[in-house]
Every structure is written in C-alpha cells, then in structure tokens.
A and B are shown apart, each in its own frame.
Chain A
Amino acid sequence: VTLLEQNPRWRLVPRGQAVNLRCILKNSQYPWMSWYQQDLQKQLQWLFTLRSPGDKEVKSLPGADYLATRVTDTELRLQVANMSQGRTLYCTCRAGTGANERLFFGHGTKLSVL
C-alpha cells in the first residue's frame, strides 16, 4: 500500500521556470509530512516539515529556491524555482513512535533542467 502519492513523477524544467509538486497522504494517521531533496550525488537533505494546513515556509539552497505549503491534512505542495541543477524531491510522512518510528518516502519527483 502506497502511503504517499507524488506527482508528477518527473519533469523537464526550462531554466528560469518554476514547477509545482504535489504530495497526497493516503493515511491521515501520519500527519507529520516533510520534503527532502536528493541531489545528483545522492545526498539526502531535509527541506521542510509542515504539520498543519496553512503552514508555509521558504528556503533557498544551492541550485534551487523552495516554497512549501501544507494545503490540507492530506496535501503538501512544493514550488521549485530558479533550479540550476537536477534533483529528486521526496515527500515523506513519519509513522510510529519510539523504536518503531520510521519515515515513509513517496516515489519521488525527478526534476531535470532543460
């Protein structure tokens, strides 16, 4: 069972254009949702954790600017702008507590610069 549905799965982004990503949580029992980026060297980097509808945050990293929004209890969005290097964006949710805590990852959205 897929807990997180991300779309699109991949996108070619013309230099200078922004792209909007979407993540849908299938089980609202795991409300702590996050975005991670994985660069071309496979490094995983935490971007945002947004818990409540209406939460918004911005961040600039080497190669891209981000705006994350928690739209509803089950929808998380990410706008990626000014991207100069390809990357994959993963949506995650946190499940369990204590020794059973784990992150579930979505399938990811692979972005390439055109």
Chain B
Amino acid sequence: QQQVRQSPQSLTVWEGETAILNCSYEDSTFDYFPWYHQFPGESPALLIAIRPVSNKKEDGRFTIFFNKREKKFSLHIADSQPGDSATYFCAASDNNNAPRFGAGTKLSVKP
C-alpha cells in the first residue's frame, strides 16, 4: 500500500518560474509532513516541514501549502534557480512511525 503519493514524476521549469510539487496521503494519523531534497551523488536532506496546526509554512523561496481536509500538501519553489535542480521527496509520519516517502519528483531548472 502506497501511503504517500507524489506527482509529477519529473518537472522542468525555466529559471525564475515557480515550481509546484504535489503530494497526498491516506493515513489520518500522520501529523508531520517534511520535504527532503537530494542532489546527484548525495544523501537526502531536510528542506522544509509542516505540522497540520497551520496550512502554510514559508522558508525563503520555499513554501508548503497544506490541506488537511483533502489530505494533500504541496511544495512551491518561487523564483526557481538552476541550483534547485534535484530530486524532491515529500514524506509523512506520526509519533509512532518513521517517515514514509513519496516516489520523488526530479526537478530540472533551465537557465
């Protein structure tokens, strides 16, 4: 059973555009929703995360939008830069379980 679904599988945007990555989940007990990024040859690393007490979390150019009713959350990358090119993973977890990851979105930002 795939607990976290992520789309699109790959995304190409031009430098300066906003990239939008989407995720949905099934388990209502999930209460923590992080996004990780992974550059080629490196390990995943935390980018930004949200708890459902709020429906928006901003950190610089990165914003998570969270919709508890629809069990969906998305990552918006504003003013995308070529250095943002990486694979992005959404995840979901609760107090009793380690994070479950989506399948990943490979983002390419063209200069």
Number of interface residues of A (CB under 8 A): 22
**A19-27, A42-50, A59-67: which lies at the interface:** A42-50
Whether B98 contacts A49 by the Cβ 8 Å rule is: yes
Q: Does B8 contact A (CB under 8 A)?
A: no
**B11-19, B20-28, B39-47, B65-73: which lies at the interface:** B39-47
The chain A residue sitting closest to B32, CB to CB, is: A101
Whether A46 contacts B99 by the Cβ 8 Å rule is: yes
Residue from the set B43, B44, B103 with the largest chain A CB neighbour count within 10 Å: B43
For B51, list chain A residues within 8 Å (CB). Answer: 98-99
Alpha-carbon separation in the docked complex, A98 to B106 (Å): 28
Dominant secondary structure of chain B at its interface with chain A: strand
Given contacts A94-B98, A99-B49, A106-B43, contact A42 B34 (CB under 8 A): no
Interface size class of B (residues with CB under 8 A): 20 to 34
Whether B49 contacts A101 by the Cβ 8 Å rule is: yes
Q: Does A18 contact B (CB under 8 A)?
A: no
The chain B residue sitting closest to A34, CB to CB, is: B98
Alpha-carbon separation in the docked complex, A108 to B42 (Å): 9
Given contacts A105-B43, A105-B44, A107-B43, contact A46 B49 (CB under 8 A): no
Whether B101 contacts A45 by the Cβ 8 Å rule is: yes
* Contact mask for chain B residues 81-111; partner A; CB cutoff 8 A; 1 contact, 0 none: 0000001010000000111110110100000
Q: Does A58 contact B (CB under 8 A)?
A: no
Given contacts A101-B49, A105-B45, A107-B43, contact A46 B104 (CB under 8 A): no
Chain A residues packing against B (C-beta within 8 Å): 32, 34, 36, 41-46, 49, 90, 92, 94, 98-99, 101-103, 105-108
